[in-house]
């Protein structure tokens, strides 16, 4: 990539950014859940910081978060704000699908209907 | 667990500014503040990105991103957006997330309106219908009982 022309489509950047944010949320959830089971209830801010920093899932979250932010800013440079911002809702769809598929949470019919309606809206915005 | 989360959310503001801390202890103040900060932060970021001078085509991606981030409007926008996120966390700590999520779709409406007014963006009918469907879906996802 060094010195080369970076010509990724700005729309692709926004899609990857939104996907990374959703994945980052899953990592953060994992990290914080592990943090709760491993840290004593009362502690100093310093030891809490050490616990947070030594958690690999928190690092994964941080990496995904920074990458998502960079892609978001470079994509947004070329696209309308009213186009890019509503695509954040792709995150709700992805988190629902991921929690059903990976975490094996039960997702009822109403939620799947909601996922369908949001996806339809996102398709319309993507084509606008 | 509760104490850890409370420490996370309250430690930075404790003792520094008692007035703003007590104001944010009403969920609706925290929620409204988060909406205002998130929307205005994004507007400022986009305004900064719109105004940045174009770089020659042979500049690498990393430099390109740094160049767009390190300007006053973008940095200020990011900071305001961060404040919005903190306010959102304060709101979430006081009220159920299934109640706040559909409410937060007001941000989509505010962003769309503000982009038209301040950034002279043109919203097609298709984009408006898409945004409305997203909001309907978000309400549906968090609605209680049978639909």
Q: Which residue has the tokens 């042979």?
A: B58
Partners of residue B84 in chain A, C-beta under 8 Å = none
- Give start and end residues of each alpha helix (H) in chain A: 10-38, 45-53, 56-78, 81-84, 90-101, 109-126
pLDDT in tens, A83-92: 999 998 898 8
pLDDT for position B20: 65
pLDDT in tens, A1-11: 444 455 788 99
Look at A82 and B112 and tell me if their CB atoms are within 8 Å.
Answer: yes
Q: Which residue has the tokens 């769309």?
A: B112
pLDDT in tens, B38-60: 999 999 999 999 887 777 777 77
Distance of CA B117 to the CA centre of its chain: 18
Look at B45 and A76 and tell me if their CB atoms are within 8 Å.
Answer: yes
pLDDT for position B38: 95
Question: Is the complex ipTM higher than 0.85?
Answer: no
Dihedral pair phi/psi, residue B116, rounded to 5°: -70, -45
CA distance B59 to A3: 6
Evaluate if residue A15 carries a pLDDT over 90: yes
- Rounded to 5°, the CA angle B81-B133-A12 comes to 60
Give the gap in angstroms from C-alpha B79 to the nearest C-alpha of chain A: 13
Using CB atoms, which residue from B1, B49, B130 is nearest to A86?
B130
CB atoms under 10 Å from CB of B20, counted, come to 12
**pTM confidence score:** 0.78
Look at A73 and B68 and tell me if their CB atoms are within 8 Å.
Answer: yes
Look at A124 and B126 and tell me if their CB atoms are within 8 Å.
Answer: yes
pLDDT for position B94: 87
Residue of chain A minimizing CA distance to B140: A114
Please write down the HEC assignment for all residues of chain B. CHHHHHHHHHCCCCCCCHHHHHHCCCHHHHHHHHHHHHHHHHHHHHHHHHHCCCCCCCCCHHHHHHHHHCCHHHHHHHHHHHHHHHHHHHHHCCCCHHHHHHHHCHHHHHHHHHHHHHCCCCCCHHHHHHHHHHHHHHHHHHCCCCC
Buried b (16+ CB within 10 A) or exposed e, B124-140: eeebeebbbbbbbbbeb
Look at A124 and B1 and tell me if their CB atoms are within 8 Å.
Answer: no
CB atoms under 10 Å from CB of A44, counted, come to 9
């Amino acid at each position: 990539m060094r010195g080369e022309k970076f010509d990724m489509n700005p729309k692709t950047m926004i899609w990857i950014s939104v996907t990374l944010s959703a994945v980052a949320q899953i990592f953060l959830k994992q990290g914080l859940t592990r943090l709760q089971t491993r840290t004593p209830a009362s502690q100093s801010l310093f030891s809490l910081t050490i616990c947070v920093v030594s958690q690999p899932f928190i690092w994964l979250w941080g990496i995904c978060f920074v990458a998502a932010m960079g892609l978001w800013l470079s994509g947004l440079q070329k696209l309308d704000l009213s186009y890019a911002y509503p695509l954040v809702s792709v995150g709700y769809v992805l988190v629902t699908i991921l929690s059903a598929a990976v975490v094996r949470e039960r997702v009822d019919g109403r939620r799947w209907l909601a996922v369908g309606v949001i996806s339809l809206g996102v398709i319309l915005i993507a084509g606008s | 667990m509760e104490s850890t989360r409370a420490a996370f959310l309250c430690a930075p503001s404790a003792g520094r500014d008692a007035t703003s801390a007590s104001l944010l202890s009403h969920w609706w103040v925290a929620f409204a503040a988060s909406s205002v900060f998130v929307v205005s932060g994004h507007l400022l970021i986009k305004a900064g990105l719109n105004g940045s001078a174009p770089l020659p085509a042979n500049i690498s991606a990393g430099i390109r991103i740094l160049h767009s981030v390190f300007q006053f409007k973008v940095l200020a926008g990011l900071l305001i957006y961060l404040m919005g996120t903190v306010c959102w966390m304060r709101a979430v700590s006081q009220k159920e997330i299934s109640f706040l999520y559909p409410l937060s779709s007001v941000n989509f409406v505010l962003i769309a309106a503000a982009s038209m007014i301040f950034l002279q963006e043109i919203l097609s009918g298709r984009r408006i219908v898409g945004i409305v469907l997203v909001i309907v879906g978000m309400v549906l996802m968090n609605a209680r009982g049978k639909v």
